Chain A
Amino acid sequence: MADYISLFVKSIFVDNMIFAYFLGMCSYLAVSKNVKTANGLGVAVIFVLLVTLPINYLLNQYILRPGALAWLDEKYASVDLSFLSFIIFIAVIAAIVQIVEMVVEKFAPALYSQLGIFLPLIAVNCAILGGSLFMQERDFVNVGEAATYALGSGIGWWLAIVALAAIREKLSYSHVPAPLKGLGITFITVGLMGIAFMTFMGIQL
């Protein structure tokens, strides 16, 4: 249990998708102009991560990694399909995103119209694929760990985008040098937030 809590906290604060790995920066910068839409996208990311990561974990464990096919028959034990992992992961993610998109369109049209083109772009959100690739690299012991990691990093991403949106809302009233307006100051803000998040680096639970 302690392992799960440690993994959870670490993936929110220490291994933060945005501040430590720059994952999902495109939509992060584009949709962080106000807190409400930022919140919507953040929740969508948590949800998609939470669904895709365990699925990809199982696929990796039982199909993709070297020797994974041994459960079918001993003679497949030497098969290594890991070269297919990128394409399988992205296909799973794209399919799930498509489903989420349909569900949101049906049940929350207001949210759908706000998120606009960014919902289909979650498929190409680096945070989602990045989550799966890091999962593959870190080889978690079981699905539970993979899901914990997904939830933690999703919440980390959500936290980062909501915080940035709040700062940007305030920032629009301040006097920023003209060339820095908009994008420039946003980058610098994210950098400073990242430095602030580094204070969590030493924590161990």
Chain B
Amino acid sequence: MNTNSNVYTIIYSTILVVVVAAVLAFAASALKPMQDENIKKETITQVLSAAAQADESVTISEDVVAMYAEMAVDAFYVDGNGVIGEHMNIGKENKADIKVESTSYLKAQNDIIKKIEAGQTELLSTLALPVYVIKVNSLTVNVIPCYGAGLWGPIWGYIAVAEDGRTLDGAIFDHKSETPGLGAKIAEKPFYSQFQGKKFGEGEKIFDVVKGGANGAENGVDAISGATITSQSLGKTINTWAKYYQPYLNSLAAQTDTETEESAETEENAEVEDATVTEEE
């Protein structure tokens, strides 16, 4: 047979393409459920790890899905005006139904945020930013994600905010391709454990990651030395996303304030109120 004729070449390539496409489509669809499961588990692990930092006695178990189903109180979307939208399934009836939003969703939201930053403020109400409300023993925390560009690729993270909408109970970060040993340290404990006990600020500088930033400032942590750009980008990412969660977080703060006022009799609560007042000044 003449393997160099045009007809043969065309038939050969057609068959090759069909066979390869069939194999790939089969493999991709067969493995898809497992891949999605992995991504879901990863997101759940990160949400839980951020939340669990609120209480040292809590450790993340092997079966994160079951743990999430047990600890999650609620999960929903908020828009840029703080209006709560649709609720996500938190798997109270069936663990397999749990819905969390992966990084590709965060990326899409980040694109909308970028447009709003560029001046298209009418898009504020189309935002649907996920909030996961997790109960860690006696505490309830709101886990909010953030997503942005690092030095080489995307960076993202989850921050656990206490019921007052201000205090941070924990945080965890991840990245796609930051330099190992430098920028990649944002995913390591010495860095993210700094966030515990910090507070979101008001106005333009909600949060910051700067060199020497831990100098007593409540809304800043210390940057990673040698990874200036990654640190700065992370600071900017947190700041930007926190800005769009601000309306929702403010409504939480307002709630806590009224509650505190109502039960201001006990000394302990009075102290809390004092603290809030000083902070607002």
Q: Does B153 contact A (CB under 8 A)?
A: yes
Q: Is the CB of B20 within 8 A of A83?
A: no
- Bound Cα distance from A15 to B178, whole angstroms: 12
Q: Is the CB of A138 within 8 A of B153?
A: yes
Question: Which chain B residues in 173-201 approach chain A with CB under 8 Å?
Answer: 176-177
- Bound Cα distance from A87 to B22, whole angstroms: 13
Nearest CB of B to A125, in Å: 21
Nearest CB of A to B25, in Å: 8
Q: Is the CB of B177 within 8 A of A137?
A: yes
Q: Does B92 contact A (CB under 8 A)?
A: no
Contact code string A166-205 (vs B, CB < 8 Å = 1, else 0)? 0000000000000000000000000000000000001010
Chain B residues in 8 Å Cβ range of A139: 107
Chain B residues in 8 Å Cβ range of A138: 149, 153
Q: Does B2 contact A (CB under 8 A)?
A: no
Of all chain B residues, which has the CB nearest A86? B24
Contact code string B149-178 (vs A, CB < 8 Å = 1, else 0)? 100111000000000000000000000110
Chain B contact residues: helix, strand, loop or mixed: helix
Nearest CB of B to A141, in Å: 8
Q: Does A84 contact B (CB under 8 A)?
A: yes
Nearest CB of A to B171, in Å: 24
- Bound Cα distance from A17 to B154, whole angstroms: 19
Given contacts A83-B27, A137-B177, 16 further A-B contacts (CB under 8 A): A15-B152, A66-B104, A83-B24, A83-B28, A84-B24, A87-B20, A87-B24, A137-B153, A137-B154, A137-B176, A138-B149, A138-B153, A139-B107, A202-B228, A202-B229, A204-B229
- Bound Cα distance from A204 to B27, whole angstroms: 43
Question: Which chain B residues in 125-165 approach chain A with CB under 8 Å?
Answer: 149, 152-154
Contact code string B1-43 (vs A, CB < 8 Å = 1, else 0)? 0000000000000000000100010011000000000000000
- Bound Cα distance from A21 to B115, whole angstroms: 31
- Bound Cα distance from A183 to B240, whole angstroms: 49
A-B contact pairs, 16 of them (CB 8 A): A15-B152, A66-B104, A83-B24, A83-B27, A83-B28, A84-B24, A87-B20, A137-B153, A137-B154, A137-B177, A138-B149, A138-B153, A139-B107, A202-B228, A202-B229, A204-B229
- Bound Cα distance from A202 to B228, whole angstroms: 8
Of all chain B residues, which has the CB nearest A138? B153
Chain B residues in 8 Å Cβ range of A15: 152
Of all chain B residues, which has the CB nearest A137? B153
Of all chain A residues, which has the CB nearest B232? A204
Question: Which chain A residues in 1-49 approach chain B with CB under 8 Å?
Answer: 15
Chain A residues in 8 Å Cβ range of B153: 137-138
Chain A residues in 8 Å Cβ range of B177: 137
- Bound Cα distance from A162 to B206, whole angstroms: 47
Of all chain B residues, which has the CB nearest A66? B104
Chain B residues in 8 Å Cβ range of A83: 24, 27-28
Q: Which of A83, A87, A137, A202 has the most CB atoms of chain B within a 10 A radius of its CB?
A: A83
Nearest CB of A to B12, in Å: 15
Which 8 A/B pairs are nearest by Cβ-Cβ distance? A83-B28, A137-B153, A83-B24, A202-B228, A138-B153, A66-B104, A84-B24, A137-B176
Nearest CB of A to B226, in Å: 10
- Bound Cα distance from A88 to B228, whole angstroms: 37
- Bound Cα distance from A160 to B27, whole angstroms: 40
- Bound Cα distance from A138 to B152, whole angstroms: 8
Question: Which chain A residues in 108-158 approach chain B with CB under 8 Å?
Answer: 137-139
- Bound Cα distance from A202 to B229, whole angstroms: 7
Chain B residues in 8 Å Cβ range of A84: 24
- Bound Cα distance from A137 to B107, whole angstroms: 11
- Bound Cα distance from A84 to B28, whole angstroms: 9
Chain B residues in 8 Å Cβ range of A204: 229
Chain A residues in 8 Å Cβ range of B104: 66
Nearest CB of A to B21, in Å: 8
Nearest CB of A to B119, in Å: 15
- Bound Cα distance from A137 to B153, whole angstroms: 7
- Bound Cα distance from A137 to B177, whole angstroms: 10
Of all chain B residues, which has the CB nearest A202? B228
- Bound Cα distance from A202 to B182, whole angstroms: 13
Chain A residues in 8 Å Cβ range of B20: 87
Of all chain A residues, which has the CB nearest B29? A83
Contact code string A65-85 (vs B, CB < 8 Å = 1, else 0)? 010000000000000000110
